[in-house]
Amino acid sequence: MTTPTPLPIHEVTYRKARDLILFGELLPGEAVTIQGIVDRLGSGITPAREALRRLTAEGALRVSDNRRIMVPQLTMEQLQELTYARTGIEPQIARLAAVGMAPEDIDALEVIDARVNAALEAGDIQSYLRHNHTFHWTLYAHSEAEILMATAASHWLRAGPSLRVMVKHAQSAPLADMHEVAIEALRDGDYEAVGEAIHNDILQGHSHIAEGLEAAG
């Protein structure tokens, strides 16, 4: 058995810094510094600087007018663009993924969705963001659509952190479980219905983000 080649330290640092954003440890509107990343991750200054450069280029971070690096807060216009982009790409990835999934793969998704629901019920934002991301990307990995997945990943870096609002809504009213709908469609072999469930899942999340943006004024 071949031993996997260890990732370079700059790639490890980038992925860890990216996850701080994706999974809610760095909040929209929060300032990010090289030293802050070094302190959080125990990395060197050069890998931390490179990670922030890459994340800024990808839109996960932005440089403000006073040259501070920040986790961006979505505008309504950006959310609309992300809605068009995500609903145009991710349902197709899901359809492609559905074709090659075995029953045990679907069972694994069901386990992950149970963790998503448990995090929602507990009001655990970071666990929700992590397990929700795991659900989608475990599904999408079966598509083997590398170009589409790379594009979708860039959208998640911009939209994913704002999905924290889903936890607040779940605490006040039950949410329709579009993941469960997708799982049922997978078991039925209904690939179009899988794509439709993911489409509706995206719309559900983005509608709650929009409500939060409107409330914030």
Rounded to two decimals, the pTM is 0.90
Compute the chain's Rg from CA coordinates.
18
What pLDDT score was predicted for residue 40? 94
The span from the CA of 127 to the CA of 59, in Å, is 23
Q: Which helix (H) or strand (E) holds 82?
A: helix 76-99
What superfamily would CATH give domain 76-216? GntR ligand-binding domain-like (1.20.120.530)
Contact status, residue 159 vs residue 209, Cβ threshold 8 Å: yes
The span from the CA of 105 to the CA of 100, in Å, is 9
Model confidence at 101: pLDDT above 90? yes
What pLDDT score was predicted for residue 217? 64
pLDDT digits (tens, 9 = 90+) for 24-73: 888 888 999 999 999 999 999 999 999 999 999 998 999 987 889 999 88
Question: Which residues does residue 32 pair with via DSSP β-bridges, in sequence order?
Answer: 69
Contact status, residue 116 vs residue 128, Cβ threshold 8 Å: yes
9-70 to CATH, choices 2.70.70.10, 3.40.50.2300, 1.10.10.10, 3.40.718.10: 1.10.10.10
CATH 1.20.120.530 maps onto the chain at 76-216
Query: pLDDT category, 77, cuts 50, 70, 90?
Result: very high
Query: pLDDT category, 6, cuts 50, 70, 90?
Result: confident
Q: Locate 79 and state its tokens.
A: 């959310």
The span from the CA of 49 to the CA of 35, in Å, is 9
